[in-house]
Structure 1
Amino acid sequence: MKRYLYLLHRWLGVSLCLFMALWFFSGVVMMYVGYPKLTVAQRLAHLPDLGNPAVVPLALAARAVPPEANVSSITLTSVAGKPQYQFGTLSATRQRGIVAVDALSGAKLQRVSADDALRAAHAFMPDAAAQYRDAVNEDSWSHSRSLDLHRPLHRVQMDDPAHTLLYVSSATGDVVRVATRSERLWNFAGAWLHWLYMFRGGPLDGAWTGIVIYLSLAGVLLAVSGSVVGLLRWRFRGRFRSGSKTPYREPVMRWHHLSGLLFGTLAITWIFSGLMSMNPWKMFNADAAPLDRTAYAGGTLQPAQFQLQASDALSALRGDLQAREIGWHRLAGQAYLVATDGNGRTRIVRGAGQAPLDIFPTPQLLDAAQHLSAAPIAETSVLERYDNYYYDRDNHTMMGDAARRLPLLRVKFADAQQTWVHIDPYSGNVVGQLDQRQRLQRWLFSFLHSWDLPPLLASRPLWDIAMILFSIGGLLLSATGIVIAVRRCRVG
């Protein structure tokens, strides 16, 4: 039995030691340089103030939306310096879409040309010259599913010190992704390696998910078998003839054995949690009933029924907040607008003559929240500080693109899946849903992979030092494994 265990570890190591080394190395890079993105804060910072433009009424602009599509969101923003309505849509088959309408003329945007992309790029970075490159459906820096609504993407190269590459949506003409040359170069040693993106975009693209899952599963088996072999080969009582606790005298074998004993558990933890990030075999898919967001809103989002116009919000906010975007919403049947400025601050406008609100009162949110589920509400709480399930991360991290504001309303339902719902009182929007499976994934992936408990994240640079030292240990384990694998292959 031991022989088969040794053979399993040996040949798994020959096959996977290079991948293990790349994962440990690229993980350190990702601590400081994330996959290119355009965060909400960055996007707002590059938008102009709306001022008080003579935009067409919302109902008129909404005529551009296909009658068979259900409107799921409405936003007034700016694209290339001009106001634009953007209607998020949802088809009968739950297919998401977006319809862009020129807010000055009411005309639907039919096509985004290369010249349109250049105008958007110039508005985004007015101090840099722009050169149109091409249009791509997907490339190394645009794999994110959040960009699916905007494909194909126009690429515009900016002549700025950072050599920024901008991606412009073909649906709205807006900049949707930013990738500096430094980010792109570091990502070849970071996220591109870590997520095995060399297998995406080519003939193996459809198999990428399976490749990552089964390589990770094999990596877990490699680390577990190596830990067992390492313990079997360690003399807990007495010593070998060399006077050592390990039987290996050759330096590389000796260091591989010792580093495996020291960092084997860590290797198991990190490779296993990486596997969990892929939601293998959909084991973390929510099995709770979908939230009834229509009942929460008190009806569908029908533009023709809105009496509130952008001018109402801009007039009500005069002298208080310089709006850069305005969104139309409903809560328990009440229509309202949410205006956002360049710093991400928001105000709620309920109607002409009514003072804007900073946040919705908690009782009003709870009255609406009881319609989200058929199950009764079991518990409610208002979070005034971050906890293990709602916390902020740096902008460059995987989950750091949107601001996590406080306070936050958490509603727990007494359903079989023990569903939690997070509601943002600044907008009235449901911003998160967690059932038992998703809370389990939070621990098996997020915690085990990046030690992201708020007290640990607040303990920097101690958190950085610990993560780097342990990564070096894992890299030492993997590097010695590579040397051993090369020797084994030479011997045959």
Structure 2
Amino acid sequence: MWFLSGIVMMYVPFPSLTKADRLAGLAPIDWNQVHGIVRADAALQQGPNGPVWLGSSVSSASTGLAVGPVDARRAGDIATAFGNAPASDIERVQRDQWTVAGSFDRYRPLWKVTLHRPDGLTLYVASTTGTVVLDTNRTERFWNWVGSVPHWIYPTVLRQHQPLWRQVVLCTSGAGIVGAVSGMWIGVLRMRLRRRYKGGRVSPYRGWQWWHHLMGLFGGTMLVLWIASGWLSVDPNRWFASKGLGDAGLAAYAAAGMAPVIDWARLSATQQATGARQMRMIWTDGTPLLLLSRPGLQEAILDARNLKPAKLDPRRLTRAAERLLPGARIEAVDRLTRTDSYWYAAKGDVELPVLRVRFADSAKSWVHISPRTGAVLGDLDARRRLYRWLFDGLHRWDFGPLLNRRPLWDIWMLGWLTAGVVLSISGVVIGVRRMRKRRRR
């Protein structure tokens, strides 16, 4: 189950709404309807009844009034506009197989809208914000039933109880580790390199047993590494838990002030605002920046005070970064222009160039900062960097010559996964045969 589903997962990931798909589905912002001050804690985008601010709460960008919960009719209109097809079915769901993760909790209940399209596209609309939070198509759902769902032991009935699901993963993979290690030890004991078996054979077995012995010796180490790293995926005993950056440090880094007054008519006349599907404002070292997103284009960055393109000084960002971890000295600052073992993406792209700020604190923290916006893109301490090797490295083999190199990575993975399939099937056949013999006795 784990090996075959792993092969599927190499090519069909679990359903998610990518940033590119989300932007492509949104309508351009109607700047003529935007009034009032900018909300620093929210994103501006076009809704079915005009532009809205989406954050901890939802409000109209025209009137400033709160927008109530989304009903079925409105959810259908949102999905129809997003997917360019009429809705064929609308259902209110608390959670289902594709929305069982806790990341959807703040959007529940959800409106599940199936569109009248050949690909069977289904969109999930948040009842709280009216935003599309997930899209799935028929092909994606089919392959995930034989991919991610069995691989992660992810049926809704189990996964919705997170502590129970975590214990099931720990116990099943733990049992797998014991079985694999003991099987390898028995396989080593049965080998004869000097006083060989009849016919000069190293192994005493034939048929399925020979295949099991061969694959166990050949791929047993990989089997153990895969099961052990899978066991680590749920972080047993919270060995790799990280405190991360505190809210106080992030607030000091941002140094937010009074929200600037935006001349919306002037903003709408800028080239960067034409066709924009989403706008956010962030603070970087006391500077308010407007981030405008358009499909297929790099995010435009404007200084919110004068609506001119913003360009940040890396030295200023470094000085501001000192406030992220009060009392910790900055050890080094690296400017990455290409991905490495700690700044990469298994799927899609990551922002480049990026600043890596290394601190001399007890956790040996690293912080990645965008030189374009000053946004903190992520942080890694020594524990998480170790976890990167023990889980991502040994489970996905995304390092060294295999990192982002295809089809080399595919050949490597498929070879070992095929060996694992043969090992597993031969073990099942041998086990069934042994049980039948005992029954006859």
TM-score class, shorter-chain normalisation, is over 0.9
Change (3 A) 1:23 1:120: same
Cα deviation, residue 49, structure 1: 2.0
1:252 correspondence with 2:205: no
Whether the aligned pair in 1 keeps the contact of 2:2 and 2:150 (CA below 8 Å) is yes
1:370 correspondence with 2:349: no
Say which of 114, 121, 127 aligns to 1:157.
Answer: 114
Q: Which has the higher contact order (CA 8 A, sep 6+)?
A: 1
Cα separation, 1, equivalents of 2:272 and 2:44: 20
Cα deviation, residue 312, structure 1: 7.0
Whether the aligned pair in 2 keeps the contact of 1:419 and 1:433 (CA below 8 Å) is yes
Say which of 437, 462, 475 aligns to 2:408.
Answer: 462
CA RMSD in angstroms, aligned pairs only: 2.2
Find the residue that maps to 2:218 and give its secondary structure.
helix
State the AA in 2 paired with 1:210: Q
Find the residue that maps to 1:197 and give its secondary structure.
coil
Say which of 190, 201, 207 aligns to 2:164.
Answer: 207
State the AA in 2 paired with 1:286: S
Change (3 A) 1:204 1:435: closer
Say which of 145, 153, 175 aligns to 1:196.
Answer: 153
Change (3 A) 1:466 1:313: farther
Say which of 74, 81, 95 aligns to 1:123.
Answer: 81
For 1:469-488, what aligned pairs fall within 5 Å after superposition?
Answer: 469-488=415-434
The TM-score with structure 1 as length reference comes to 0.84
Change (3 A) 1:206 1:136: farther
Cα separation, 2, equivalents of 1:405 and 1:202: 32
Whether the aligned pair in 1 keeps the contact of 2:36 and 2:62 (CA below 8 Å) is no
- CA deviations on 1:219-275 (whole Å, 9 max, x unpaired) are 1121111111111111121211353111123x1111111110011011011111111
1:271 correspondence with 2:217: no
State the AA in 2 paired with 1:422: H
Cα separation, 2, equivalents of 1:364 and 1:330: 14
Change (3 A) 1:316 1:412: farther
State the AA in 1 paired with 2:312: F
Cα separation, 2, equivalents of 1:54 and 1:282: 49
Find the residue that maps to 1:58 and give its secondary structure.
coil
The unaligned stretches of length 5 or more in structure 1 are 1-21, 63-70, 88-97, 396-402
- CA deviations on 1:156-195 (whole Å, 9 max, x unpaired) are 0111111011111111111110010000000011001110
Matching residue of 1:107: 65
Say which of 356, 359, 364 aligns to 1:413.
Answer: 359
1:317 correspondence with 2:270: yes
Cα deviation, residue 467, structure 1: 0.9
Say which of 291, 298, 310 aligns to 1:345.
Answer: 298
> Which region of structure 1 is more displaced relative to structure 2, 459-468 or 204-213?
204-213
Cα separation, 2, equivalents of 1:355 and 1:248: 76
- CA deviations on 1:358-404 (whole Å, 9 max, x unpaired) are x5221121121110002011110111000100113325xxxxxxx41
Cα separation, 1, equivalents of 2:197 and 2:270: 80
The TM-score with structure 2 as length reference comes to 0.93
> Which region of structure 1 is more displaced relative to structure 2, 213-222 or 312-321?
312-321
Matching residue of 1:237: 194
Matching residue of 1:79: 47
The unaligned stretches of length 5 or more in structure 2 are none
State the AA in 1 paired with 2:195: G
Matching residue of 1:399: none
Matching residue of 1:5: none
For 1:433-444, what aligned pairs fall within 5 Å after superposition?
Answer: 433-444=379-390
Cα deviation, residue 78, structure 1: 2.0
Matching residue of 2:259: 306
Change (3 A) 1:23 1:107: same
State the AA in 2 paired with 1:136: V
Whether the aligned pair in 1 keeps the contact of 2:187 and 2:217 (CA below 8 Å) is yes
Cα deviation, residue 310, structure 1: 7.0
Change (3 A) 1:184 1:77: same
Q: Percent identity over the alignment?
A: 37
Cα deviation, residue 462, structure 1: 2.1
Change (3 A) 1:157 1:412: same
Find the residue that maps to 2:281 and give its secondary structure.
strand
1:384 correspondence with 2:341: no
Matching residue of 1:178: 135
Say which of 198, 202, 218 aligns to 2:175.
Answer: 218
State the AA in 1 paired with 2:76: L
Change (3 A) 1:114 1:199: closer
Matching residue of 1:35: 14
State the AA in 1 paired with 2:253: Y
Whether the aligned pair in 1 keeps the contact of 2:43 and 2:53 (CA below 8 Å) is yes
Change (3 A) 1:361 1:320: farther
Change (3 A) 1:320 1:205: closer
Find the residue that maps to 1:391 and give its secondary structure.
coil
Whether the aligned pair in 1 keeps the contact of 2:208 and 2:426 (CA below 8 Å) is yes
Change (3 A) 1:183 1:484: same
